[in-house]
Amino acid sequence: MMQTAHLSVSIGLDVKRAYDFLSQPENFPKWASGLADSLKKVGGEWMAQTPEGPAKVRFSERNGTGVLDHWVYLASGAEIYIPLRLIRNGDGCELILTIFRHAGATDEKFAADADWVMRDLRTAKQLLERQKA
């Protein structure tokens, strides 16, 4: 089993409104910097440019349970699974993303990945809370 880290932010916006925004693949580049400026729909599939080259991205179907999982398929054949959940917390919600420590990743690399994800989650929080007004 791989080591994991569950990273989250509290968001001061109703879970339904947050989900409506976050479940649209078109909105991912607004907060998910790993997909920023490169996520495009090509022939019915979502594609992104990664340091390893072009990658296919698959998103969860819209659902009523807050699941926002997505999968990145690299040109090398590697699949990266990104579990992402939105859960109700009173009048607001929690956005939770799980990262996995892949084989060979150093402590520093795993910590850097967690820092990157937290920056993205904070960006999502800021975008969503601006919608509250």
Q: Where are the domains of the chain?
A: 4-131
- Would you identify the CATH topology of the domain 4-131? Alpha-D-Glucose-1,6-Bisphosphate; Chain A, domain 4 (3.30.530)
* Segment holding 48, helix H or strand E: strand 45-50
CB neighbours of 95 closer than 8 A, spacing ≥ 6? Answer: 8, 9, 11, 18, 22, 84, 85, 86, 121, 124, 125
Q: For residue 16, name the pLDDT band (cuts at 50, 70, 90).
A: very high
Tokens at residue 118, please?
């937290």
Overall average pLDDT of the 27-47 stretch? 88
**Nearest to 86, CA basis, from 35, 10, 33:** 10
Nearest-angstrom CA–CA distance, 130 and 133: 6
In this predicted model, what pLDDT tens digit does every residue of 68-113 receive, in sequence order? 999 999 989 989 999 999 999 999 999 999 999 988 899 999 999 9
pTM: 0.92
pLDDT at site 103: 87
d(CA 35, CA 54): 11
Angle between helices 107-131 and 15-22 (to 10 degrees): 110
Question: What secondary structure letter does DSSP report for 13?
Answer: S
